[in-house]
Structure 1
Amino acid sequence: MQFLKILFWCLLTFLAAIFTYGNWDRVEIHLWGGMVADVNLPLLLLVAFLVGWLPMLMYHHAVRWRLRQRLATCERMIADARAIAVPVPVAEPVIVADLGDRPAPTAGTLL
């Protein structure tokens, strides 16, 4: 699997190099105040890519950090609940019959 990842990144780097070599043109960017900046097209595309990608990457890491914190809190709460909830043995219930006004039976009498 590691070989395929290396192969993918080498192929991507090769394609980027071919694109850069084929598009090494100067692009004029008109700035405020009548200023003009001459920038190479690959550099301009790289900067535009990073401007769009970096905020999303930071947002992604912030969401992952927040979810990890919430998961750790829930796991601590579950561990605490398991530690507190120790099962207590319950004794057998004693059933007492209500005989009412009748006297308790003695040996030799029928009910």
Structure 2
Amino acid sequence: MQFLKTLFWIVVAVSIAIFASNNWSDVTLNLWAELQADIKLPVLLAILFLLGFLPTYFVMRGRIWALQRKLILAERPVVAAPPAPVAHEPQEEQAE
């Protein structure tokens, strides 16, 4: 199973490398007013991927962190409070 997982990631990495080398061309971005930026297409795609992926990733990690905190609190042993001392009423002595 480890071999298949490694093979999958190698295929993904080679596919990305082939895509990047075949599409290594400039793309002109019209930002605002007369401002333009030239950027390579694979770099632009990587930036856009991270722009979409990172917020979702951080939300997921935040939820996992909160659930782990709740789980740790739920798994703590419950410490019972010591019983309150019972107030004894003084007994009246009966005269014999």
TM-score, scaled relative to structure 1: 0.67
Structure 2: runs of 5 or more not aligned: 81-96
Q: How does 1:87-102 map to 2 (within 5 A)?
A: none
Deviations 1:71-103 (CA, angstroms, capped at 9, x unpaired): 111111xx21xx64xxxxxxxxxxxxxxxxxxx
Partner of 2:21: 21
For residues 72 and 61 of structure 1, what CA distance do their matches in structure 2 show? 16
Partner of 1:8: 8
Q: How does 1:41-56 map to 2 (within 5 A)?
A: 41-56=41-56
1:22 Cα deviation from its structure 2 partner: 1.5
Deviations 1:33-69 (CA, angstroms, capped at 9, x unpaired): 3111111111000000000001111111100000000
Q: Percent identity?
A: 40
Aligned residues: 80
For residues 44 and 30 of structure 2, what CA distance do their matches in structure 1 show? 13
- What secondary structure does 1:24 align onto? coil
Q: How does 1:22-101 map to 2 (within 5 A)?
A: 22-76=22-76, 79-80=77-78, 84=80
* Higher-RCO chain (CA-CA 8 Å, sequence separation at least 6): 2
TM-score, scaled relative to structure 2: 0.77
Question: Which has the higher Rg, Structure 1 or Structure 2?
Answer: 1
1:24 Cα deviation from its structure 2 partner: 1.3
Partner of 2:83: none
